[in-house]
Amino acid sequence: MRHERSARLQAATLVAMILVGCGGDGESPSGASATVDIDGSSTVFRISEAAREAYSAVNPNVTVVVDNHGTGGGFGHYLAGEIDIVDASRPANADEEAKAKAQGIPWTRFNVGTDGITVVVNPENQFVKSLTVAQLKAIWEPNSKVMTWKDLDPSWPARTIVFYSPDQDSGTFDFFTEVIVGKAKQQRDDVQPSSDDNTLVNGVAGDVDGLGYFGHAYFEANSNKLRAIPIQNGAAAPVMPSEATILDESYTPLSRPLFIYVKNASIRRPAVFGFLKYYLEHIEELAKKGGYVPPTSKTQEANQKALSAGGDASAPTAKDAA
């Protein structure tokens, strides 16, 4: 993975050097400062990739590289000094916060949207009308006894369920296991994990007894070959994930905020600041293009206030807007 990132960064730097030589963004003659390097969540990837595509038309002299090795992978690359921005589908944990502080590489967090983790089955599965949070826990907890659909409901067929899940570097995995199982990163072992949400999509779509979960945008983009399952939390009626139910927080407990963490030192670089300014000013359309619910106006105001601080580690951040 490190070798792959190094190759990508070298290629991006070469392009930036050429562009700077042709009258680039006025940063370091080496061209390295004319790149913006992003890695992390495959969920937030869709927003950052939309930002990269749009910004390339506005400022082609800045090369933006977006990878998706999971939220945990993104924080790992950040702490190794390899990237400017982490795409994160969960907040940084205490260990990641402590390491960033200890290494003298503080960040500013910006809220870039809201997602609803979507539980899906194959469209041929018409007997699962909804699932309760308690059933989800019974399905996904470590050492689960649920092996067939009949184990969940005696009226359902005794066919073996095939489980598809994000891998352990995924922020989606962290969030889902924490709110459903009760402890982050704790899940049954007999699953088919992947860091690529499209692999999970294709797995469930190709298996009549498939069951999986991932960000809502990946369901929306593949709703012709998947079926989303309404989730019942407590005594409330089952709720289907949608822009409306994610926004009004009735789709609970699987609604969650999405973030980007930007290195403060990088914010002070013109290439990164220009890209980030564009990203936040156009977040309404970028979040929607990515398939997610945009931040509220109050959150967007907090984002702008944090950006105006310009990477000052002592200034307020957008954390309270999440």
CATH no. for residue 93?
Answer: 3.40.190.10
34 or 209: whose pLDDT is higher? 209
Q: Which of 253, 277, 298 is where one domain is finished?
A: 253
CA angle 171, 247, 114 (to 5 degrees): 25
Q: Are 108 and 318 in contact (CB under 8 A)?
A: yes
Predicted pLDDT at 21: 43
Confidence of residue 249 (pLDDT cuts 50, 70, 90): confident
Residue 312 has pLDDT above 70, yes or no: no
Point out the domain boundary residue: 224, 253, 282: 253
Q: Smallest Cα–Cα separation from 170: which of 73, 46, 85, 67?
A: 73
Count how many domains the chain has. Answer: 2
- As a whole-number percent, the residues of the chain with pLDDT over 90 amount to 84
Please write the tens of the pLDDT for every residue from 259-303: 999 999 999 999 999 999 999 999 999 999 999 999 999 999 999
Q: What is the pTM of this model?
A: 0.84
**Mean local confidence (pLDDT), 201-206:** 98
For residue 186, what are the domain limits?
118-253
Q: Which amino acid is at 24?
A: G
- Using DSSP's 3-state secondary structure scheme, residue 49 falls into helix
Question: What is the rounded average pLDDT of the residues 139-168?
Answer: 98
pLDDT of residue 313: 43
Residue 309 has what pLDDT?
84
pLDDT at 32 over 70: no
Residue 249 and residue 123 in one domain: yes
CA distance from start to end of the chain: 31
Note whether 178 and 246 are same-domain residues.
yes
